[in-house]
Each structure stands twice: as C-alpha cells, then as structure tokens.
Amino acid sequence: MKLRYSAWLLCGAFSVAYAQSDERVETSTPERTTHFTVSAHGDALDKGYDDWRGMRLELGNETRGRIGGHIAVFEEQRFGTTDRGIELSASVPFGKAWVWVPTVSLAPDADFLARTAVDMDLYKELGQGWVASGGIGHSRYRDANVNRVKAGIERYVGAWRIGYQAIASQVHGRSGVAHDLRVARSYADTSEVGIQFNAGREPTVLAQGIVNADVKGVGLFGHHAFNPTWTLWWNVGTTRQGDFYTRRGAGVGLQYRY
C-alpha cells in the first residue's frame, strides 16, 4: 500500500497546511509549531507469511514561511527479523510558491528495509487550488538498488481535495510504474477523511530480496483533531502484491503539538 509510514504524517501535514493557507491571518510573528508523534501499524499476510508490525517516533518543528525540519526513529518487524533506522527531512520554502522537501533515511544493518534512502521532492502552488509535485529518489537495499521518479497533481475545491501521483521505479534492471489516487474531504476545519486506490508495478519486499511486482490496493485514511494540541491519525487498507501475498492492515498515530 502506498501509505508508507515514513512519509505519512509529513505529507498529510503539507496538505492540511495548504488547505488552510487562505484562512490564515498574517502577523508580524510567524506561526511556529513543534509536534511529537508516536505511531504504530500492523499487517496480516496470507500464504504463510508472518504478520508485520512497526512503530515510529517523530519530532518536528515548523514555522510558517520558513524552513521546517523532522527527525524520526522507526522499527519494523517482518519475516522473523527486526530492522531499525532513523529518518531526517526538511521543508524548505523558496520563491513565491515553491517548497523543497529533502528526506534521508538510514538503516545501516537492515535485512529488508532500505539501508539508505534519499528523496528530493518539489511542490509548486499553481493557483486556483492546484498543487503540482515531482521528485527523484534512490534506495540501497541489502541486495539491490532502486531508482524512482515521481510526478503528481492535486486539486483543492472547497472542503474536497483529489490527488494523483505516478511513481516510476527500476530494480534489477526492470522498470515499472505505480499509480496512486486519493480523494479526501476535510471537516471541522482541521480534520480529514479520505479513500485511496493504487495499482501498477512497484518494488515489493520479500524474505529473499526485493523485486518489481504488480500491486493493487484500496484503503481509507484520515486524521481527527480533538483540539489545537492533540490529533489522531489513522488508516486501514488491503494490498495485493502480485502472486506473493495479500496484506490487510491498519495504522494509528497520536500527535501532540505545542
């Protein structure tokens, strides 16, 4: 499923920030927030595979119109082994409507996760509710390297947003393209619920390595703000990874902002 937990909260926060940008009142003191998030997920796999589990702790700092940063530590359990790593990312606005988001992930002794991963993404506000995005990335696994190119478009209309992203990837000399479509509706100003569909070919993690495989998935996602301080993030979904396995899972995260 494309709800990758390493980028889940950051991407959601970017969408929320854009959707609310027209409602914000400029002041002489930029709006600054720091957040701490703890999240966990579990996936049940068929065909005799062990279930997957993961946890993540993230600390972030954001100032409207200025550079923001995030640091996270994570742990994933799959195929009878456990990988741990750290992730660093930044949000760098420049020009009138550009945001650059570099992300680096390190898990030096990983068995199934990427040992190093670097992504460079750009977002551009086009006006009239349109946001374009694009990026490149490279991941080094234990026995393979994965290169990827991303392009996406998002449209905001009232309380609704619809987004599409295509990710072209190459592993072991074989290429594939995965497609991701999301439709979401905001409510109560700072909360959101949506549905996601994905299909195509993408790198698939197996106990014996990583391969490009067909993928089809559907899921629900959202976040609910109890107040300006506490927000609950969640997702549920099912994904079929070629003929290898189908996994059904759910994730939840609790965020504290101050």
Q: What is the pLDDT of residues 144-190, one digit of tens each?
A: 999 999 999 999 999 999 999 999 999 988 999 999 999 999 999 89
**CB-based contact 21:241 (threshold 8 Å):** no
- Lowest-confidence region among 16-30, 83-97, 228-242: 16-30
Rounded to whole angstroms, the Cα distance separating 161 from 19 reads 9
Rounded to whole angstroms, the Cα distance separating 101 from 8 reads 14
Residue 184: the pLDDT is 98
What is the number of domains present in the chain? 1
Mean pLDDT throughout 196-215? Answer: 91
| Range(s) of the domain holding residue 13 | 5-257
Mean pLDDT throughout 95-117? Answer: 95
Q: What is the mean pLDDT of the chain?
A: 89
Q: What is the pLDDT of residues 56-69, one digit of tens each?
A: 999 999 887 889 99
Kindly write down the DSSP assignment for every residue of the chain, as one continuous string. ----HHHHHHHHHHHHHHHHGGG----SS--EEEEEEEEEEEEEESTTPPPEEEEEEEEEEEETTS-EEEEEEEEEEETTEEEEEEEEEEEEEETTTEEEEEEEEE-TT-SSS-SEEEEEEEEEEEETTEEEEEEEEEEE-SS-EEEEEEEEEEEEETTEEEEEEEEEEEETTEEEEEEEEEEEEEETTTEEEEEEEEEEEEEEEETTEEEEEEEEEEEEEEEEESSSSEEEEEEEEEEEETTTEEEEEEEEEEEEE-
Q: At 245, which CATH number?
A: 2.40.160.40
Q: Are strands 81-94 and 52-63 parallel, antiparallel or unpaired?
A: unpaired
**Per-residue confidence at 9, pLDDT binned at 50, 70, 90?**
very low
Q: What is the pLDDT of residues 17-72, one digit of tens each?
A: 444 444 333 334 457 789 999 999 999 999 989 999 999 999 999 887 889 999 99
Checking if the pLDDT of 254 tops 80, the result is yes
Mean pLDDT throughout 207-223? Answer: 92
Angstrom CA distances, 100 to 54, 92, 123, 151, stand at: 28, 5, 7, 14
- Beta-carbon contacts of 123 under 8 Å, excluding residues fewer than 6 positions away, are 14, 98, 99, 101, 131, 132, 133
Q: Which amino acid is at 156?
A: Y
pTM: 0.86
Residue 151: the pLDDT is 98
**Per-residue confidence at 118, pLDDT binned at 50, 70, 90?**
very high
Alpha carbon 230 to its chain's center: 20
Residue 207: the pLDDT is 79
